[in-house]
Amino acid sequence: MSGHSDAGRTPEVESPAPPRVQRLKANSVGLVGVVFMAIATAAPITAMTGNLPIAVGFGNGIGAPAGYLIATLVLGVFSIGYVAMAKHITSAGAFYGYISHGLGRVVGMASGLLAVLAYVVFEASVVGIFAYFADTTVDAQFGVDLNWAVYGLGMLAVTAVLSWFDIHLTSRLLGVLLVAEVTVLAAMAVAVLVRGGGPDGLSAEPINPANAFEGAAGLGLFFAFLSWVGFESTAMYGEESRDPKKVIPRATLISVIGVGLFYVFVSWMAIDGSGLERSKEIARGSAPLDVFFGPTGDFVGGWAVDWFQWLLITGSFACGMAFHQCAARYLYAIGREGFISRRLGNTHPAHGSPYFASFVQSIIATGIVLLFLITDQDPYIHLYTLLAILGTMAILIVQTLCSFAVIGYFHVGGNHPRTAHWFRTFLAPLLGGVAMIAVVVLLLRNMETAAGAAADSLLFTLTPYIVGGVFVGGIALALYTRARSPERYELMGRIILEDAGERVDDGPADARMSVRS
């Protein structure tokens, strides 16, 4: 193998042959489709309406767009190392595979289970905000008041059916929904720009980087970073994409930079359209979404506000469906190695979808939603907010570890010396990792404020312990497997796609290597 090794390994054994696994359907999606999947997971319309009013009203105020600018820079730096790994490792497990290769199998399994936790709860979380938007919009426009669970369970059922088929169908549907939500946000922003802004005209103060650190800057910056959760999902579709070594790196950079610039522009115009000081008053009031609805109605027309409300529903649906796909692929990646259950690694004989993992994810998400329903929890305050915080804490830790895994893979392990570079694979991921640590600290320091009315719930109190428990559980599973089943341990996080086939990867060359056990 290459120069790196897992702690405690001494004897050398021949690399185990990769197990026969059921493949995901290859060539199902191209560059545009992967970009649509990733951006749908980030959910621009949900991220903007859910996060910007809190940042403006209680965080860094009118400096919120500058906060998005800083987040774009930080995540852009993070992505440099991430795409370097994507050029050499193609796996449905994404973070699980990357960290296993860079920091060892023990940390890889712990990170993989954290990623599973994150994406499993993210879908249920988005069901909450979808049900909230659907309930309020249908009631306001048609006077029909149904229990929020009708919408939430309906969303889960439709998602389960669509996920039965290959990713091509999902990517096309998400593409349509994504274009619609981006169009309404862009229409508002362009209209404000063309007509010279709102009460204070066009002001550059919202994009002044110094203003990102005004007020409760930590809270504002945290919600800026929160708006990107899901962009890293590009790597999960490598095994199903055309020419993944090129498609995944390009899709990642397009998603990060494109979404970032879009967030900066839309948030800037929303604040300018509402007025600098007035936008803060609106964001703190009883109708914070008027930060968007106001400029949309004033500069585009009342009809656009109605469409905006409906696109909040379709946008959150697209987000939830994208998270479902992520969760299913992580479960599939771990299951095909024989962990949790081998049946999770089954793919549909006709569609090539991870249908069994998808079915399991639907059952889990439905169970979570029903638990919140039975305990009379609010879909927005509790289901959406609490699970979003839980999932975000888990995925930010995994992203942080992934940054250092890049350094471990290329420089400690000595893999692919032609790719290794002092900036791309060392300094950029080092800076990205340190910055991600700062984001985790921001989350911990602002958790209570972010939770709002749900901060007194038991789940909120248990959130750090759940994340820590899953991570420790992953370490224990890896160590147990290493002691009791060395052959399975060698496969942990190492099944990757190479030349239209799976292999156990443990070295710098594009061939099967001997490994240290």
What pLDDT is recorded for position 497?
Answer: 58
What pLDDT score does 10 carry? 35
Give the pair of three-digit tokens for residue 152: 């939430």
pLDDT at 19: 58
What is the maximum span of the chain, computed from C-alpha positions, in angstroms? 73
Q: What is the pTM of this model?
A: 0.85
| β-sheet bridge partners, residue 120 | none
CB 251 within 8 A of CB 235: no
Residue 241 DSSP SS3: strand
Determine the pLDDT at residue 513: 26
Distance CA(259)–CA(267), nearest Å, equals 12
Q: Are 503 and 18 in contact (CB under 8 A)?
A: yes
Q: Which pLDDT does position 18 carry in this prediction?
A: 55
CA pair distance 474, 224, nearest whole angstrom:
30
Tens place of pLDDT per residue across the chain (517 aa): 333 444 433 333 344 555 566 666 666 667 887 887 788 777 888 889 988 999 999 999 999 999 999 999 999 999 999 889 888 887 767 888 899 999 999 999 999 999 999 999 999 999 999 999 999 999 988 989 899 999 999 999 999 988 887 666 677 777 788 888 899 999 999 999 999 999 999 999 999 999 999 988 888 988 888 888 877 777 777 776 777 788 888 888 988 999 999 999 999 999 999 999 999 999 999 889 999 999 999 999 999 999 999 999 998 998 888 899 889 988 988 888 877 777 887 886 776 678 889 899 999 999 999 999 999 999 999 999 999 999 999 999 999 999 999 999 999 988 989 999 999 999 999 999 999 999 899 889 888 988 888 999 999 999 999 999 999 999 999 999 999 999 888 888 877 655 434 444 443 333 332 232 3
CB atoms within 10 A of CB 13: 13
Partners of 515 in beta bridges: 13
CB 220 within 8 A of CB 52: no
Convert 434-471 into a string of H (helix), E (strand) and C (coil). HHHHHHHHHHHHHHHHHHHHHHHCHHHHHHHHHHHHHH
Place of tokens 């300018």: 272
- At 203 the pLDDT is 95
Domains in the chain: ranges and CATH: 31-491 (1.20.1740.10)
27's CB contacts (< 8 A; 6+ apart) are 240, 241, 242
> How much is the pLDDT for 329?
86
